[in-house]
Structure 1
Amino acid sequence: MWSGDELDLDAYLARIGIGTGGEGPGRELEPDLETLYAVHRAHTAAIPFESLDVTLGRPVELDVKSLQDKLVHRRRGGYCYEQNSLLAAALQRLGFEVEGRGARNRARGDRLLPVTHAVLVVTVGGEPWLCDAGYGYPGPFEPVPLGRPGAEVRQGEWTYAVHQEEDGLLVLRWLREGTWSDLYAFTPQPYHPVDYVVLNHYSSSHPRSAFLGKVIVQLPGRDVRVALLGRELSHWHPDGRVERRTVSAEELIPLLAREFGLRLSERDAADLVRIFRAED
C-alpha cells in the first residue's frame, strides 16, 4: 500500500535521529507502541512542515523515491501528503498496520471546507491510534488514541483529545487557555495513496488553495510552537502567549535555517526571496 519496501529505512531513521545518538527506543525496533511513539515523536521534531515547493511553483511528488530524496537526503520538509506518506512507508516497513484517512479542517472558523488533510490510523495490538506528522504547529507530535473517545492526552505542554460526534465523525481537538478547539474531523473511510494524489493536486494548484503564493513553514515543538505564515513569524506558548513579528526578505533564508533547520539550494533561496519581496 505505502511502498515501504522502496524506503531506505536506515537513512530515514538517521534523518529523524533514531539510531544515531538522537532520541530512540534504544533497542531493536519492533512494531509496538513504544516504537510508534518514538518514531512519531522523532519525525515531527526533525522534519518541519513546509509547502515551499508550492510557493515556488514546483511539482509536489508523493512517490517514496521522491519523498526520500526531498525529506531525507536533501533534509527538506513537506506538507501533510508528503509527511504522512513518508511516515506511512516507514511504519509499514517496520511492520505496522497503517491506513490513511481524509480530514476536514475545522481550525478556520465555521466555514465548511473541503476534505484536504491527510492523516494516518495505525493499529497496534488491536487498538487504533491517530498519527499525524503533517498538520503544522497545532498538530500532535505523538500518537493520539482513537479507541477512547474523549480521553485527554498530554503531550509535553499541550493537551489533545478525540471527540466522537453523534454521526460517528471523529474530531481531533486541542486545549488552549482552558478552551477546547476543533482542529479537524474525519470518518472511518480508508484513503489510499492515489486519493492523496488527487488532494495534493488541489492543494498545490487550485486558485483557492491556502498554500498558493504564500510562505508557510511550521514546527510543532514539545514546548514552544513556531510558525511562519507569509511575513509573520509566531511563537506559540502553552500559557496562551503568542509572540509575533514581521520578517524581512533579507532575513528570510537565515531564519529558515535557524528556526526550522531548512537549508535551500541557491536557486530555491533566490526564487523564494523574490516571491517574498513581491508580497509587499
Structure 2
Amino acid sequence: MTDDAGYGWRGDLIDLPAYLKRIGFDGEPEPTTATLRALHRAHVTSIPFENLEIILGRPVRLGAEAIQAKLVDRARGGYCFEHAELFAGVLERIGFEVTALVGRVTLGAEKVASPTHALLHVREPGHPSGEPALLCDVGFGAGPLEPLEIPGTAEVDQDGWGFRLRPGRTVTAWDPPTQGWEMHQRGADGWVQRHVFTLNEAFRVDFRVLSHYVSTSPRSPFTTRPFAQRFSVDSLRVLDGTTLTVTRPDGRTERREELAPARLPDVLAAEFGIVLEGDDPRRLVAAVDGSNLDV
C-alpha cells in the first residue's frame, strides 16, 4: 500500500454497484460521453442538495468513505464539495479523466465572490480527437441535467431548462493568458450569470479548506438556516429556511412561506427525499424555532 499523496479521487474506495443503485443507473458503465451524460442526469435528479449537517451542529465530512456513507448509503444529500468529490471518485473508478475546478458563485452580482463552488472537467480516456471536454456540475442543486461542452458557447436546452457557457474575464498577465468562463442559467426574467471559474486544477485538500469555510463561517449562506434543493426534469424544489419554492422550466413559481418548523422533517422527506434519522428531526426543529439552542 502506498501513501496517499492527495492526487486523484480515491475511486478505489467507491462501492460502484451501491452508487449506481442509488441513482437508478442500469447496466455496466463505460467511460464514454453517452455514459457520462446518463450518470450526470441520474445523479442530479436522485441525490439532493442540502446543508443540514451544519444546522444540526455537526461537521461536514469529506473523503470518499464518509461521503458515500451519507449520500449513497442513506437517504441524504450534501452540498457541492460532497457531490463533486463523490462524482469524481465514481468517474475515476469507471475510467474517465477527471480534473476538479472551483468557481465563484455570483448569481448576477458583479463583485468578486469567494471560490466556494466545486466543478469537474471531464474527458474520455485518451482525449479522443475532436471531442470537447465536458463540464460537470452535479453539486449546485439546480442543474444542469447533463454536462456542458467546454469550450462551447451555444445555448443548451435540457428538457426546458436553459444553460450556457460564455467566455469571461481573461487573466492577461499570465503567459499564456488564462481564459475565464461564466455559467449562465435561464430564468423567468432571462439569463443570469450563475458562477464564474477558470481552468485551474483543484485537489481534495482544496475542497477541504473551502468546505471548512462554507460550513463554519458566519459569512457563509449555509450556516444560518436549513437549505435544500431537489432538481428534476419538471421542477426545482427549494427549501430556504421555512419557505418552500417550486419552479418549473418555463419560469412559473409556486411559494409556500412560513412553514411551521415542526413540519420541516416531513417536508424534507416528502419533497426532497431527505430522511432524518434518530433524534435529528427534533434537533432540526429546535435549531430552526430556537426552542433549544443546545442541539
Same fold (TM over 0.5): yes
Q: List structure 1 segments (4+ residues) > 4 angstroms apart after TM superposition.
A: none
Q: Distance in 2 between matches of 1:178 and 1:39?
A: 30
For each residue in 1:202-221, what CA deviation from the matched residue of structure 2 results, as whole angstroms up to 9, or x when unmatched?
Answer: 00111111100310000122
1:179 Cα offset (Å): 1.8
Report what 1:7 is aligned to: 14
Aligned partner of 1:22 in structure 2 is none
Aligned to 2:274: 262
Report the alpha carbon displacement of residue 61 of structure 1 after superposing the two structures with TM. 1.1
Q: CA deviation at 1:128?
A: 1.0
Is structure 2 residue 241 aligned with structure 1 residue 230? yes
Q: Which residue of 2 aligns with 1:78?
A: 78
Matched, 1:141 2:152: no
Question: Which blocks of at least 5 consecutive residues in structure 1 are unaligned?
Answer: 20-26
What is the alpha-carbon distance in structure 1 between the residues aligned to residue 241 and residue 11 of structure 2?
A: 34
The one of 176, 179, 182 aligned to 2:193: 182
How far residue 108 of structure 1 moved from its aligned partner, in angstroms, is 5.6
Summarize the alignment of residues 127-206 of structure 1 with structure 2, pairs less than 5 Å apart: 127-137=132-142, 139-148=143-152, 150-165=153-168, 167=170, 168-177=179-188, 179-206=190-217
- Structure 2: which amino acid aligns with 1:95? G
Give the secondary structure class of the aligned counterpart of 1:101: strand
* 2:105–2:117 CA contact under 8 A, matched in 1: yes
8 Å contact from structure 1 (residues 15, 75) kept in 2: no
Report the alpha carbon displacement of residue 175 of structure 1 after superposing the two structures with TM.
Answer: 1.6
Q: For 1:24-173, what aligned pairs fall within 5 Å after superposition?
A: 27-107=27-107, 109-124=109-124, 125=128, 126-137=131-142, 139-148=143-152, 150-165=153-168, 167=170, 168-173=179-184
Q: Quick check: 1:252 aligned with 2:259?
A: no
**Partner of 2:42: helix, strand, or coil?**
helix
Counterparts of 2:52 and 2:34 in 1: how far apart (Å)?
33
* Counterpart amino acid of residue 156 in structure 1: D
- Displacement after TM superposition at 1:271 (Å): 0.4
Q: CA contact under 8 A between 2:108 and 2:193: conserved in structure 1?
A: no
Residue type matched to 1:133 in 2? Answer: V
Using the size of structure 1 for normalisation, the TM-score is: 0.93
How far apart in 2 are the matches of 1:58 and 1:166? 37
Give the secondary structure class of the aligned counterpart of 1:28.
coil
SS of 2:12's equivalent?
helix
Offset from partner CA, 1:11-55 (integer Å, 9 cap, x none): 111111112xxxxxxx43210011101111111111000010011
TM-score normalized by structure 2? Answer: 0.88
Cα shift at 1:166: 5.0
Bigger shift: residues 94-103 or 213-222: 213-222
Question: How large is the RMSD of aligned CA atoms in angstroms?
Answer: 1.4
Structure 2: unaligned runs, 5 residues or longer: 1-7, 171-178
Q: Deviations over 1:179-228 (max 9, x none)?
A: 21100000010101110000001001111111003100001221211100
SS of aligned partner of 1:46:
coil
The residue identity in structure 2 corresponding to 1:154 is D
C-alpha displacement at 1:250, in angstroms? Answer: 2.3
Give the whole-Å Cα distance in 2 for the aligned partners of 1:130 and 1:258.
31
Q: Alpha carbons of 1:34 and 1:56: their partners in 2 closer, same or farther (altered >3 Å)?
A: same
Q: Secondary structure at the match of 1:117?
A: strand
2:146 alignment partner AA: E
> Secondary structure at the residue paired with 2:254?
strand
